Structure 1
Amino acid sequence: MIKQKVQDEVNAQIQAEFQSGWLYLAFAAWFESKNLDGFGHWMRMQWQEEQEHGMKFYDHLLRRGGEVELKGIEKPEISAENAVDIFEKVLEHERHITKRIHSLYDLAKEKDDYPLQTLLHWFIDEQVEEEENAEAILERLKLIGEEGASLYVLDRELSQRDAE
Structure 2
Amino acid sequence: MNISQRMQDAFNKQIVAELWSSNIYLQMAFWFRKEGWKGFASWMYKQAEEEKQHAMDMSNFVLMRGGEVKLTAIDAVKTNWKDAKEIFIDTLAHEQNVTEMINVLADVADEEKDRASQNFIDKYIDEQVEEERNVQDILDSFEHQSNHAVAHIDKELSKRQ
Interval of TM-score (by shorter of Structure 1 and Structure 2) = over 0.9
* Post-superposition offset of 1:74: 2.1
**Contact 2:31/2:80, CA 8 A, preserved across alignment:** no
| 1:95 aligned partner | 96
* Post-superposition offset of 1:18: 0.6
Are 1:7 and 2:8 matched, yes or no? yes
Greater Cα offset, 41-50 or 66-75: 66-75
Calculate the TM-score normalised by the size of structure 1: 0.94
Counterparts of 1:151 and 1:90 in 2: how far apart (Å)? 17
1:120-131 correspondence to structure 2 within 5 Å = 120-131=121-132
| 2:150 aligned partner | 151
Structure 1 alignment gaps of length 5 or more: none
Structure 2 alignment gaps of length 5 or more: none
Calculate the TM-score normalised by the size of structure 2: 0.96
1:109-148 correspondence to structure 2 within 5 Å = 109-145=110-146, 147-148=147-148
Matching residue's letter, 1:53: H
Counterparts of 2:92 and 2:28 in 1: how far apart (Å)? 13
* Post-superposition offset of 1:75: 2.0
* Post-superposition offset of 1:56: 1.1
**Contact 1:27/1:78, CA 8 A, preserved across alignment:** yes
Alpha-carbon RMSD:
1.0
**Contact 1:38/1:159, CA 8 A, preserved across alignment:** yes
